[in-house]
Every structure is written in C-alpha cells, then in structure tokens.
Structure 1
C-alpha cells in the first residue's frame, strides 16, 4: 500500500536547488501562486499543503489527528522531501508553515540550507485562543470562521477568493488538529540555537503575527535579517508578492555568493576570473548553476572535508576521461592540502578501478601540473 504524502505542487527544473514553500493555516499552495513561478526559474519549487487542506483535503486529513504538534507536521514535510529525493533544501513558510520551518531549522539543520519565516512567530500567543478555535471548528465546522478570513488575512478591501474558498473547504478535523499544533508551539527560548541562515519577513499590518514577533526571531537567531513589508497583512505572499519575492531572492542568492567564494578558494582567482571573462549570455545560466549548485551546495556541505572532496573529484574525472578538468582539480587538491604523494596514491588507486590506460593519462596530466607548480614555487 502506498503511503499518503502531503498534497503538493512542484515546478521548476528538476536539477535546480530545491525550495519548499509552506502554507498558512486554512490556505493551500495557491498562497504562493504569484511568487512560485518566479522562484522556479532558479529553483525546484515544491509548494505543500497542510493535511486536510487544498485539492486533496479528504485523502490527506488522515495524516493528522487531535493533539498534533508542529513536530508532527515537520515530520510529514521531511517524508515528502525524502520521497522527492530532496536531501537538503531551502525553506520558506507563512504562519504555521513558518513554525514548521523553525522546527526543521532547529532539529534538522543538516536538511535546511536557508530559512525564511514569513508572517509567523516562535510562539502564537498561548494556547487558549487556539484550543477555543479548535473546539469551535470541531463543533460547527469552518463555514462561519471562513466569513472572517478577509479581516484576519488581508488589509481592508483586499481579498483572494481562491484562498477564502480553500479555508471554507478544508477538513474541519484536520484544521482543528493544526490549531492544536499552534496551541503548544513555543520555540522562543531556543531561537539562539538555530544556525541556519535565516530571514524574518513581517507584514506591517498583520494583526495575527505583528512585526514584533518577527523582530524577536531576527534578534534571537544568530545572523538573521528582518524585512518589514508596508501594506501587507498576514498573507504577504498573496497581498504583496513582489516584496516577498525580492526578500526571498536576496536570501536565496546567498548560495551563489557563498558558492563563488568557495569556488575561488578551491580553484583559485585566476581560474575563476578566466571562466568569468569568457562568460556570455548563452553560458551565463551554466556558470550560475555551477556556482550555486556545485560550489554553493555540494562543496559547502560540511559532511566531507575539502581534501576528501578533492580525492573523490579527481577519481571521478579520471573515470570519465576528463583530463583538462583533472588538471584544474590537481591544482585544487594541492590548494586543499594534498601532497604530491597523496595525489599519486589517488591516481594509483584509479589504475585498479578505472583502468591502467586511464591512470596512465592521469599521471601524465598530474605530473605536468605538479612540475609547473614546483616551477612557480621556485
């Protein structure tokens, strides 16, 4: 029997860095309709729905029950990411979706490359209001509560009918269970433990999670930034999509900047400058991909040292006969601390597993590079 996953929508290149977008209580992935298409140019964007919400509200309602916690929702998000092959991802979430992001960043930092907490909080004003709302919804359903959605979500005169309809059609038991999760959520005393690059985004007109809540996150999470959006209430991505897109793009582009830093540290300024000087409008997307993904995601992963990555990279290049690239990475290996003897040991290992002719060519390439390196040091 196939395990039911959270309902979701994916867009963007499958090879692009993954980005998960989380919803607010009562909404669906339609919350991101004006933002996700732009983000999908550079990322594999996955918008997920809360259990019992969105187009598959009845089939996913079983994923959550009374007494649920934000940790339970975070576990469902990780199951979805695992099923999609997303080992590490950027994350942005609104309100309850933002709370899920904070939990992931605190408890699973190895999975989250960056975090945007939008119109959300480290605590949602105590349990009383949420337990009362949960009881109301279990007793009367969502029709009445949906009537006040515009006032809770948007500035006066603004609405998104699709989102209000999503609120009305959500599964009441699942919605109430999400209220249970909000009632017990409080990470205010653990924000200083979060190490993931974090951005807090506040709507200045937001009555549910006022700017002070986002300021608390920005002041407590080391290195976090704060953006306040004028004219935005609780569902900023729907009401002020351009401002949210600008804020997210700034956060997400940090991978490109860090990737370029690591690329220069490993390959050297001269090599990167040559590559950049040859860049054209045609090759620019590829150069961006290399800096963002290979150097900004893979080479910055702390699981392996740069020495280890150099050895793996040289082996892979020899296996595929990429000797021009091998020359570049022999130089990189020296920069990453490998001795000529260690490089020779790696090449000798490839003679067994990649073939003697491949290793022979590799030794010739490496010998030339090391000789040039010796001349340069003389």
Structure 2
C-alpha cells in the first residue's frame, strides 16, 4: 500500500513531488500545483492518516526516514527514477532526509517553512501524548493562528487537521521529535532552495538560514507576510521562487543552445514561439540542451559528429544544415565534416550521404570567408 497521491501535468514532463505539513493534506498545494503542472509532472502526496492516506502506514515511534521510505516507494510505483522535491515543514524534513541519504534520486530540493531540527524532542513528545489521550479537537481549534498570519485562513486545511487520524498524527509527532540533521547538512549536494515565512512562529527564518548557511550553494528566500503554510497564504511568491529553482536546467540549456547554434537562430526560434509550441521549446531547452549537450562524457565536437550522422540517416536536411553550422562553431573543419558524411555513406546509404553532401556544401559556401552570403538558419526547431 502506498501513500495517497494526486498526479497532475504531462506524464513525460520532469517529475516534481510535493510534500505536506503536519495536519494538512495535498490541498496545501491547491494554489501552486496547477501552475507548476504546466511544465512538470506534479505529484502531491498525503501523510499517513491525513487526506486519503491510510493511517496504518506508520505507527508509534515513527521516524522521518520511515516517511521518506514511503515517498521513495511512491516514486518507484510511478516509475520515477529521479525527481525534484519540495516540501513544507514535516514534508520539508522528508526532503532533507532524501538529500542526505538518497541524493541519487533528487534533481533539486526546495525546503519550505521547515527545519533541520524542530525545537527539541520534549515538546513533540508531549504533543504526541496529548493527541493520543484527547484527540485533535483542541489542536485543530488553534491551527489557524499557528499556520497563518493576520486574519487569513483556509477552512479546508483546518478541516483536514481536525479530521486527521490521531494515532497517525501522533506518530508524525514522534518523527519530528527524533529528527535532527544539523550535523549532516554540509553533506547535501543537491541544488537546494530554502523558503521562509517571515512571520512563521513554528519554523522562523533563522531555522532556514541555518540550513542555507550549511548546505553548499543553497539559496534562501524570505517571504514577507507569510507564516507557516506559505504555499497557501502566499502562493504567488512561492511559485516565483520554485520556478527559479526548477528552471535551472532550462536556463543552462538555453545558454548551451545559444553557444552551439548561435544567437541569431535561437532568437528567431523564440520569436516564432506560440502558446502551442511553448512547451516543446521548453522540452528542447531542458532535455536536449540542458541535459544531453551539457553531459561532459562527450565533447561538443563529438556530439556534432553524432548529430550530423543521425540527421543524415533520417534525411532531416533542414536540421542537418543547422548542425553543419553548429559543427563549424564547435571547431570541426570542412574536411572533418566531409569525413563524417563519408562515414555516413557506408552505414546510412549513398543516396542519403549524397543529399547530405549537397546540403553541407551549400552551408559551407555561405561562410563569410568563402565569399558566399551571410549565415542563415533553416526552419528546424532545435
């Protein structure tokens, strides 16, 4: 049995798992997840005994490691080998545990209104005992003041708190009581973003600054007007911060794309972009250029040779012209380009290579030092 979850967005998009705070459900992300789902496969999960998750998934003495194991089980069930992760409070602690103990699974981490420790063990042990003894009614009554700044509230989340299973809630308190990753923060190498609510009494900004100071390269954003449940109270600010974090591969890919194909081509491709093609352009920047072309295993010269061969084999002449120009930009000589096409004749066929030589000859003749017209780009999308 896995934790209850809700998936949104394209199945082929980069995966993003969203973790909840104690006492809430996946509804915590209602004003953020739909926007993120435009370019990500967003998966929201519920804590045991919260929302739609079974209470029996954890028991007394549970740890954050137990919750992280449930998240990994969910990811495995969904076929997600690697994923970005963002979590609030206890959900953020799960993300920190994953970054320390399972870094190979994470592409990035956002820790929101959370901590590397939660103020000591005793208070959480006492809360667990109270809930086991008296239930959640008293805590639910004061949830709004603990979670939100000013008069703001989200009735659905307060209701979720009231309806959570007391035993599972208490087990989550046990997990918070035992959690302390302070000594392991410097081991984290996953790109990490910390988001703090300036008016958060549960995990004040100092807790997030402590993590930011210890995790190499971590970034910290403080949101004015936000208390403990920042995604519910200030969704716009959280969205902006998360998009900056999640779009890192796309930005890197755009830089490499420009270096290989040239500013003129990329500017024209961007100018032709429409709402219909925007996701495809993002896909190209993120995957082709942000992951494949940035992999240091092969040089750009080698990638140019492989790419030209593949384009010859499939007869993609417009794209071949573009990548002949890219090959020159990547340092290949006309003689080396000719050698690649000759090699292609053996394995892709003489007619394919014959057409490819005609394309390459035209492109090479357009080079300024060849006395031809200035460089122009074909209609290829990449």
- The TM-score with structure 1 as length reference comes to 0.82
Q: Secondary structure of 1:151's partner? A: helix
* Counterpart Cα distance in 2 of 1:239 and 1:274: 40
Any idea what the Cα deviations from partners look like across 1:33-90, whole Å, max 9, x if unmatched? 11112222232221111122112x33xx333233332223223222322333333332
Which residue pairs with 1:169 in the alignment? 163
Give the stretch that moved more between structures: 366-375 or 169-178.
Answer: 366-375
Which residue pairs with 1:130 in the alignment? 124
Which residue pairs with 1:43 in the alignment? 40
* Counterpart Cα distance in 1 of 2:80 and 2:163: 30
Which residue pairs with 1:67 in the alignment? 61
* Counterpart Cα distance in 2 of 1:248 and 1:224: 13
Give me the CA root mean square deviation.
3.4
Q: Cα offset for 1:350?
A: 9.1
- The TM-score with structure 2 as length reference comes to 0.82
Q: Cα offset for 1:241?
A: 1.7
* Counterpart Cα distance in 2 of 1:63 and 1:10: 20
* Counterpart Cα distance in 2 of 1:366 and 1:191: 53
Which residue, out of 231, 239, 245, partners 2:233?
Answer: 239
* Counterpart Cα distance in 2 of 1:220 and 1:227: 15
* Counterpart Cα distance in 1 of 2:57 and 2:349: 51
Which residue pairs with 1:287 in the alignment? 281
Give the stretch that moved more between structures: 241-250 or 357-366.
Answer: 357-366
* Counterpart Cα distance in 2 of 1:338 and 1:83: 45
CA contact (8 A) 1:6 1:50 kept: yes
Which residue pairs with 2:248 in the alignment? 254
Unaligned runs of 5+ in 1: none
* Counterpart Cα distance in 1 of 2:17 and 2:277: 28
Q: Secondary structure of 1:26's partner? A: coil
Which residue, out of 66, 85, 100, partners 1:91?
Answer: 85
Closer, same or farther in 2 for the Cα pair 1:81/1:93, shift >3 Å?
A: same
Which residue pairs with 2:95 in the alignment? 101
Which residue pairs with 2:259 in the alignment? 265
CA contact (8 A) 1:315 1:347 kept: no
Q: Secondary structure of 1:87's partner? A: coil
Which residue pairs with 1:53 in the alignment? 50
Unaligned runs of 5+ in 2: 371-382
Answering whether residue 34 of structure 2 is matched by residue 24 of structure 1, we say no
Give the stretch that moved more between structures: 163-172 or 202-211.
Answer: 163-172
CA contact (8 A) 1:92 1:98 kept: yes
* Counterpart Cα distance in 2 of 1:177 and 1:314: 58
* Counterpart Cα distance in 2 of 1:54 and 1:236: 19
Which residue, out of 224, 228, 236, partners 1:230?
Answer: 224
Which residue pairs with 2:74 in the alignment? 80
Q: Cα offset for 1:154?
A: 1.8
Any idea what the Cα deviations from partners look like across 1:135-170, whole Å, max 9, x if unmatched? 333333333332222232122433222112212222
* Counterpart Cα distance in 2 of 1:155 and 1:54: 24
